[in-house]
């Protein structure tokens, strides 16, 4: 079974996807980490994430170990990753990797959970279950602000809110695989939901799709 979990940053998709994978004993892939890994390598080398050729070359040479970098969650890397993800050549270089993971998850797992922004629409349009998480801009900014502070990073709520607005505009407006819900996705507004409620709704949808 392939489960696609999509949505904008700080909507709760990563938390849900990891929990689903653990509960179902499925493989888990944070596809955003792939783009973050490309961005992190570019930034570490002093390059420009909007350099088309450099980003494409970096993506083509990405190694599994790059997904374990300790700087992937830095805010600067996240911003750069959004720019890298708009590069068609980068997306093509990484698409095959994601699809291989979905159909052949590591460890002989019987299913895979992938979270990102275009899993249900581009990467795995035939996924058995598609979930699209969203939340109000303010709720997402509060979560992101809290997350940054808990990691010991400096954070100003107003700046986080502005960054989210800019990233949403960029992710939704790009020509290449824009952020949007698949027509057959279950949409969950998590603004007023806690993690347990989101998990319960997702499990109910998965159970429904598993029935003969």
Report yes or no: 11 and 190 within 8 Å, Cβ to Cβ.
yes
Rounded to whole angstroms, the Cα distance separating 83 from 170 reads 8
Residue 183's pLDDT band (cuts 50, 70, 90): very high
| pLDDT higher than threshold 80 for residue 91 | yes
Choose the most confident range, by mean pLDDT, from 8-12, 61-65, 160-164, 201-205. Answer: 201-205
The per-residue pLDDT of the chain, averaged, comes to: 91
CB crowding 89-103: b at 16 or more within 10 Å, else e: ebbebbbebbeebbe
Spatial distance between the Cα atoms of 210 and 207, rounded to a whole number of angstroms: 5
The whole-number average pLDDT for the span 174-191 is 89
Task: Return the CA Rg of the chain.
Answer: 17
pLDDT of residue 212: 58
Percentage of residues in the chain having pLDDT higher than 90: 70
Residues in the chain: 212
pLDDT at 179: 84
pLDDT one-digit tens code per residue, 127-153: 999 999 999 999 999 999 998 899 888
Supply the pLDDT for residue 37: 95
Indicate the burial class of 126 (C-beta count within 10 angstroms; 0-12, 13-18, 19 or more). Answer: exposed
CA distances from 151 to 10, 145, 168 (A): 15, 10, 23
Architecture of the CATH domain 2-199? 3-Layer(aba) Sandwich (3.40)
Query: So where are the chain's domains?
Result: 2-199
pLDDT confidence of residue 167: 86
Element of type H or E holding 91: helix 88-103
pLDDT at residue 4, as a whole number: 98
Those residues whose C-beta lies under 8 Å from the C-beta of residue 130, and which sit 6 or more positions away, are: 3, 4, 6, 119, 120, 182, 184, 185, 186
Q: Whole-prediction pTM value? A: 0.81
More confident residue, 54 or 10: 54
Q: pLDDT, tens digit, for every residue of 45-78?
A: 999 999 999 999 999 998 877 888 999 988 899 8
Of residues 24 and 66, the one with the higher pLDDT is 24
Looking at residue 195, its pLDDT comes to 93
pLDDT at residue 211 tops 70 = no
Of 196, 67, 186, 85, the closest CA to residue 127 belongs to: 186
Task: Choose among 113, 111, 132, 155: nearest CA to 29.
Answer: 113
């Amino acid at each position: 079974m392939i489960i696609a979990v999509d949505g904008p940053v700080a909507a709760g998709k990563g938390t849900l996807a990891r929990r689903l994978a653990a509960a179902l004993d499925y493989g888990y892939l944070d596809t955003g980490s792939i783009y973050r890994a490309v961005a992190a390598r570019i930034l570490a080398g002093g390059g420009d994430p909007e350099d088309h050729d450099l980003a494409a070359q970096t993506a083509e040479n990405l190694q599994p170990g790059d997904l374990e970098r300790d700087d992937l969650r830095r805010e600067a890397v996240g911003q750069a990753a959004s720019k890298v993800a708009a590069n068609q050549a980068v997306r093509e270089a990484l698409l095959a990797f994601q699809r291989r993971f979905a159909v052949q998850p590591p460890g002989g797992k019987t299913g895979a959970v992938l979270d990102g922004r275009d899993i249900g629409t581009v990467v795995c349009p035939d996924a058995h279950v598609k979930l699209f998480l969203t939340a109000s801009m303010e709720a997402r900014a509060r979560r992101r602000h809290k997350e940054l502070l808990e990691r010991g990073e400096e954070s100003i709520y107003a700046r986080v809110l502005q960054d989210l607005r800019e990233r949403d505009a960029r992710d939704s407006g790009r020509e290449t695989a824009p952020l949007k819900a698949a027509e057959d996705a279950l949409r969950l507004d998590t603004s007023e939901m806690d993690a347990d409620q989101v998990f319960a709704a997702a499990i109910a949808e998965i159970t429904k799709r598993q029935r003969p």
